[in-house]
Structure 1
């Protein structure tokens, strides 16, 4: 299978990954033949990329967590966030205590803890901790899907850093809740299909503190590390982040992890005002901003667990050849082995080249048609 922008999906291609609606119900299952009319309907759901199966991509790209757990986590996050949005309209949250919440509302918070535990156990049971799959998002559910994806990416990084389980729970909880402050921002701004005005962006920038304040006043069981993730996930190593412009070691280490995961998932996600970057460009962006936006040691580990060119990806090489990725060696994500599909030199068509050994050749981009 391979990830393809929807405008590049050809009539009669086979769908490779399940498509869900905003309630988590299955709309289309793998193996469905994609007609022009079906592709048009998928576009109307604000889904702009698809995993397909074709003659070039008979590889399976496994999600690092079970699909049913991903959907369960998205549902819990959505219930929690929408409940907070509802009560924020009718209550002064600063004056509201935990005792003011109904049992149903408290169950949502307890469910966050349960989901964190399940995600950790599911990922720890997976022998392969490499991230190859980019999650396809429905625009209407973006915030909730993004929260789960950030938690998964953060956990893989935390496990790679040998965090003990109690720290993984704090990391996962903070990552799941990192955007909870957006529940207090006008929905029209959150879902605006165009670029934000400076005034709107200032309101968006208030969400880390709003989320931190909410958790501090309402929910005492969230750890201090989890709360600091919510507060600091937009801080930058160079001190030019927000809300407080903290620098370097002043930023919580778990918040540094979530910052990387947050940006990577945002860059590789389609948005109403901007199409997704391919994973390789997103990884290069993060690597190029090491020491300014992101912590060097964290990025070094992150680059070892991300596979920007999964097997089956068709790539254009700097010498003009077109190839398909066959295998990626851990620690060298940008230099996989590639089978040549097209070349001016007909003698090498069908042969494999290992970019670890061909240092003069780099991947210059992803090709969607061979």
Structure 2
């Protein structure tokens, strides 16, 4: 199967991955044949891309976590963020006793969810990262938080962090944007561009989140620092405190990379996802300034920007389907040619690690 923007999906296409509504209930099950009116309804609920099955890509892409666990995690974060914002009404309290039993239960559920996510990923035979999340823009912040946690955990496992640190990392990643629920709703929900003043208010969300969490005993101190530092940069040009490399904890550096990777590789209503190689190039070119150099190197060895089944355009003016990605070479998969000016090359396998003169130039969504 392969991920395709909804505007490129044609009637009679087979759905590859089940679709869920904002509350985690199944809307359409995998295997359904999509009619024109069904495609229109998918667009109406702001799902921008879906997985399809066709003759070129009929193998299942396995998510790094179970689909039902992903949906449960999204609902857990949604309940916490939306209700914490409502309960606090943009105020920050200073006494532990001020936290309601509801809020403490949200933190407890998030901690339990972190343990479930860690166990699920550790039970896999490998931790190569190929996200298969299909998200509605109505649920974007919550699904983004779960994706950042999953990406962060794959990096943390590759770094051989202890289970205790993985737990702090996962919790911090799940709640890294909790401060956004404390930003005035008229700013957070604004359609169109923010004013410079509004941008500065939004940039305070790490500090708002940290202050809110500072007196709760249910959240590890490392997780709280992740919330505060996930927009800091090694060169000192981050926010909210302009910290430099030596003052930013390793876990915050991990979440910073995961956060940017998920944002850049996700379709948004006003911005299409960046080309996979461009996302990795962006991370690598900013390693040491925006991002921790060593962690970027680790990340680029475990990510799969072109999952099996992705249809790509080659510099040879041919079209091919990705069949295998070798760890350490994310931009050089093995592909099988499906369209070529030379008939003799159809079905030919090309190992891009060996054929260094050939590069992937784009992802193709519509095949004749």
Give the TM-score normalised by structure 2: 0.96
Structure-2 residue corresponding to 1:125:
123
Structure-1 residue corresponding to 2:226:
229
Partner of residue 238 from structure 1, selected from 235, 238, 241: 235
User: Counterpart of 2:93 in 1: which secondary structure?
Assistant: helix
User: Counterpart of 1:94 in 2: which secondary structure?
Assistant: coil
1:146 aligns with 2:144: yes
Structure-2 residue corresponding to 1:168:
166
Structure-2 residue corresponding to 1:317:
314
Structure-2 residue corresponding to 1:61:
61
CA distance in 2, matches of 1:284, 1:22: 33
Structure-2 residue corresponding to 1:99:
97
Structure-2 residue corresponding to 1:24:
24
CA distance in 2, matches of 1:32, 1:214: 45
Q: Is the 8 A contact 2:226 2:255 kept in 1?
A: yes
Count of matched residue pairs: 367
Structure-2 residue corresponding to 1:9:
9
CA RMSD of aligned residues (A): 1.4
CA distance in 2, matches of 1:321, 1:361: 10
Q: Is the 8 A contact 1:193 1:272 kept in 2?
A: no
CA distance in 1, matches of 2:269, 2:164: 37
1:364 deviates by 0.8
Structure-2 residue corresponding to 1:212:
210
CA distance in 1, matches of 2:38, 2:200: 40
Q: Is the 8 A contact 1:132 1:307 kept in 2?
A: yes
1:34 deviates by 1.1
1:241 deviates by 0.9
Q: Is the 8 A contact 1:193 1:273 kept in 2?
A: no
Structure-2 residue corresponding to 1:352:
349
User: Counterpart of 2:52 in 1: which secondary structure?
Assistant: strand
Structure-2 residue corresponding to 1:290:
287
1:194 deviates by 2.2
Q: Is the 8 A contact 1:178 1:233 kept in 2?
A: yes
1:78-121 superposed Cα distances (whole Å, 9 cap, x missing partner)? 111112111112x84324x3323333332111111101111111
Structure-2 residue corresponding to 1:180:
178
CA distance in 1, matches of 2:162, 2:60: 31
CA distance in 2, matches of 1:223, 1:167: 10
Unaligned runs of 5+ in 1: none
CA distance in 1, matches of 2:161, 2:21: 35
1:159-213 superposed Cα distances (whole Å, 9 cap, x missing partner)? 1100010000110111011001001112333233423222221111000011011
CA distance in 1, matches of 2:121, 2:171: 15
Once the two structures are overlaid, the 10-residue window that deviates more, 338-347 or 272-281, is: 272-281
CA distance in 2, matches of 1:100, 1:228: 21
Give the TM-score normalised by structure 1: 0.96
Structure-1 residue corresponding to 2:195:
197
CA distance in 2, matches of 1:271, 1:157: 25
Q: Is the 8 A contact 2:14 2:54 kept in 1?
A: yes
1:271 deviates by 2.2
Once the two structures are overlaid, the 10-residue window that deviates more, 240-249 or 281-290, is: 281-290
CA distance in 2, matches of 1:24, 1:110: 20
Q: Is the 8 A contact 2:104 2:218 kept in 1?
A: no
1:221 deviates by 3.3
Structure-2 residue corresponding to 1:326:
323
CA distance in 1, matches of 2:34, 2:274: 24
CA distance in 2, matches of 1:93, 1:23: 28
1:7 deviates by 0.7
Taking the TM superposition and a 5 Å limit, the aligned residue runs for 1:297-316 are 297-316=294-313
CA distance in 2, matches of 1:33, 1:193: 34
Q: Is the 8 A contact 2:61 2:132 kept in 1?
A: no
